[in-house]
Amino acid sequence: MSNPFFAQQEWLKPLSPRNPHEPHRVATSLELLFDLIFVVAIATAGQQLHHSLIENHIAAGLSNYLMVFFALWWAWMNFTWFASAYDNDDAFYRIMTFVQIIGSLVIAAGIPAVFHTHDFDVIIIGYVIMRLGLVTQWLRVAKNDPERRSTALRYASGIIVVQMAWLLMHFTPIQFSAYLFGLLVIAELIVPIWAESHRMTPWHPHHIAERYALLTIIVLGESIVGSYAAIADALQNQLFSTELLFLMIGGLAIMFTMWWAYFDHEVAERLNSRKRAFTWGYGHFFIFISVAAMGASLAASVDVAVGHAKISDQLAGYLVAIPLVIYTATLWILHEAHHLRGIKKWLYPLTTIIVLCIPMFAVDIGYSVCAMAVVYALRLIFSKCYLAR
């Protein structure tokens, strides 16, 4: 007697291209599960950055965080765009997604070693697991999508070559330096540009916009949770003060305005060319990393406010201001700079200058963060009332 599951769910369907104009295309439950598990690694990286900041190991902490976050973001982005074009939801597709989930958890397990001993062994192993799972999927595409066979083979071969380079450069006597890391990052970024130059994959603009928006919300939520944990610890130790109150209000207001600024734009209609798609997709690296870093910076600011950190209030203020500036500048470039004119176009840069000046004059970190939140909130309210005209 046949099992109903096998009748409804084929083990190995053809991995055919999906319709890029499919109506009501939304994120699947598997994609949401992937995001939530993926954020475990992002949260682990944020915790390690938080500890590096309060110990005044800022240069090393930011360097390690940048490298770790790139590996996480790049693996997530490649999975997301592939799924938008080829998700057929057969059993093998689900298994390959599970392999990539395993890779993300291996990366998460290796993050503390990066910050403590600068050991990337586990990170690179987890990264290669994720990437090889995707290579398997691209080989399926090469078999089942004759029109884009060359594109799929370019993806598969490019990914394999770059992964071999990661393994060769790290597990050999060659010194793994920041310069070498930068070269390999450039190689990773070039692979999709090279592959898509032959024939674009049929990704769905509205689906892609939703996937990026969902990850933005998840990272924002994770950053708020990280800040809340630091505040709760301070309250449990009876270290509450007026400065901490202002820091709590300011931090929450910043996170809320970051959400507001991002979701105040419709972007799916703009993803109508390869150039715009790459600019928008790659540019989100700075959005995601600035949101995640903001959570670590706000948590570190709590430690500064209660006297448990080795950095000054002014430096803590800049550690909050700089991610906010990167975030707003990226949104301005991706969403506003190309179509606004006059004062409407330059409102973001003017706000950025003010935010960068605040830590110079605010004495305490709580008041500094609150002032940044007020400036940014006023900018958003003004844009909502004036720029919309």
Indicate the burial class of 179 (C-beta count within 10 angstroms; 0-12, 13-18, 19 or more). exposed
Cβ–Cβ under 8 Å, residues 195 and 56: no
105: pLDDT confidence band, cut at 50, 70 and 90?
Answer: very high
Please give the pLDDT value at position 150: 95
**Residue 246 CA neighbour count, 13 Å, CB half:** 18
Dihedral (Cα; 139, 142, 144, 148), 10-degree rounding: 140
pLDDT digits (tens, 9 = 90+) for 307-361: 888 899 899 999 999 999 999 889 888 877 666 666 666 777 788 888 888 988 8
Confidence of residue 56 (pLDDT cuts 50, 70, 90): very high
Burial class (CB in 10 A: 0-12, 13-18, 19+), 249: middle
Output the pLDDT for position 174. Answer: 64
Average pLDDT estimate for 73-100: 92
Measured CA angle at 341 (ends 335, 343), to 5 deg: 100
How many alpha carbons fall within 13 Å on the CB side of residue 91?
Answer: 8
Q: Which two tokens stand for residue 70?
A: 């790139």
Query: How high is the pLDDT of residue 249?
Result: 87
In order of 67, 110, 170, 357, the CA distances from 174 in angstroms are 18, 21, 7, 43
- Split at pLDDT 50, 70, 90, the class of 362 is confident
CA distance 12 to 88: 9
Q: What is the dihedral of CA 56, 60, 61, 66, to 10 degrees?
A: 150
Alpha helices in 237-364 (DSSP H): 242-262, 274-305, 313-331, 343-361
177 C-beta neighbours (distance < 10 Å), count: 10
* 14-18, 89-93, 238-242, 369-373: range with lowest mean pLDDT: 238-242
pLDDT at site 235: 74
Mean pLDDT, residues 91-116 taken together: 92
CA dist list (Å): 308 to 300, 304, 313, 317: 9, 6, 12, 16
3-state helix, strand, coil in the chain (%, to 5): 80, 0, 20
Distances from the Cα of 314 to the Cαs of 170, 295, 308, 367, in angstroms?
Answer: 38, 17, 15, 11
| Res. 9: pLDDT tops 60 | no
For the record, the structure tokens of 29 come out as: 């439950």
| Sign, CA torsion 173/178/179/185 | positive
Q: What is the mean pLDDT of the chain?
A: 86
The backbone torsions φ and ψ at residue 19, rounded to the nearest 5 degrees and listed phi first, read -75, 115
- For residues 310 and 57, is the Cβ–Cβ distance under 8 A? no
| Structural domains of the chain, ranges and CATH numbers in brackets | 28-203 (no CATH), 206-387 (1.20.1410)
Q: How is 294-315 classified by DSSP, letter by letter?
A: HHHHHHHHHHHHTT--SS-HHH
At position 145, the amino acid (one-letter code) is D
Average pLDDT over residues 29-40: 90
Taking the C-alpha atoms of residue 15 and residue 279, their distance in angstroms, rounded to an integer, is 27
Cβ neighbors of 379 (< 8 A, separation 6 or more) are 347, 348, 351
pLDDT digits (tens, 9 = 90+) for 137-182: 999 999 999 999 999 999 999 999 999 988 887 776 766 677 888 8
84 pLDDT above the threshold of 70: yes
pLDDT at residue number 111: 93
Q: DSSP label at 172?
A: S
The pLDDT assigned to 320 comes to 93
| Identity of the amino acid at 101 | I
Report pLDDT digits (tens) over 223-256.
Answer: 888 777 777 777 777 677 788 888 888 888 999 9
- State yes or no: pLDDT of 79 exceeds 50: yes
CB 319 within 8 A of CB 298: no
CA distance 170 to 74: 19
Of 89, 282, 322, 65, the closest CA to residue 191 belongs to 282
Are 211 and 27 in contact by the 8 Å Cβ rule? The answer is yes
